Amino acid sequence: MPTVDLDELEGAAMMVEDGGGTVTAMVSRETGMIHLLNDEYTDEEAPIPTASGGNEGYVPVPSAATLGIGDGLVLRFAATYLADDQDRVRDLFRDRNTEGFARLLEERGAAEDWERFHEDVTRTALQRWCEENGLQLAG
C-alpha cells in the first residue's frame, strides 16, 4: 500500500481549497506521490496525471473544507474552547486575519489547545481519507 506524507497531504488539500478551482492535486496509487496541477506548474521529474481523463492510477485530493480541516475547523474549535469569542473568531477568519487569531489564542491561553485540536482532527480526517482510498498515511 503506498504511503502518503501527512504534511504534504494537508498542504495539498489546503492548496486545492485556496486555489478556487484552479488547482488540482492527485495522489499516485502506485507511489503515494502528490502531484499539484495548475496552469503555471509542471513537474518534469515525474509523469503528471491530466486534470481530466485517464487517471485510474491517481486519487484526486479533496479540498480542506471537504475533509473538514479548512476554516470550519477553527469555528469548531472556537465553539468548544472560545465560546465567548465565537463572533470575534468568525470576524477574524472572514477577514483572513490569522495573526489576530494567534493573538486571541495567546490572550486566552488556548494556543496549546488549538495545536492539539488541529493536529488530532487533521490526522483523523486524513487517515480516514487515506483508508477510504487504499493509501497509508505517514508522518
pLDDT digits (tens, 9 = 90+) for 33-67: 998 887 665 555 555 555 454 567 899 999 999 99
- Give how far Cα 135 sits from Cα of 27, 79, 114, 139, Å: 9, 32, 27, 13
CB 12 within 8 A of CB 34: yes
Q: What pTM value is reported for the model?
A: 0.82
Confidence band for 139, pLDDT divided at 50, 70 and 90: confident
Query: What pLDDT does 48 receive?
Result: 57
Please state, in angstroms and rounded to a whole number, the distance separating the CA atoms of residues 7 and 139: 7
Please state, in angstroms and rounded to a whole number, the distance separating the CA atoms of residues 134 and 31: 12
Please state, in angstroms and rounded to a whole number, the distance separating the CA atoms of residues 81 and 68: 18
CB 35 within 8 A of CB 49: yes
pLDDT digits (tens, 9 = 90+) for 84-123: 999 999 999 888 889 999 999 999 999 999 999 999 999 9
pLDDT digits (tens, 9 = 90+) for 18-30: 888 788 999 999 9
SS3 for 34?
A: strand
Cα end-to-end span (Å), the chain: 15
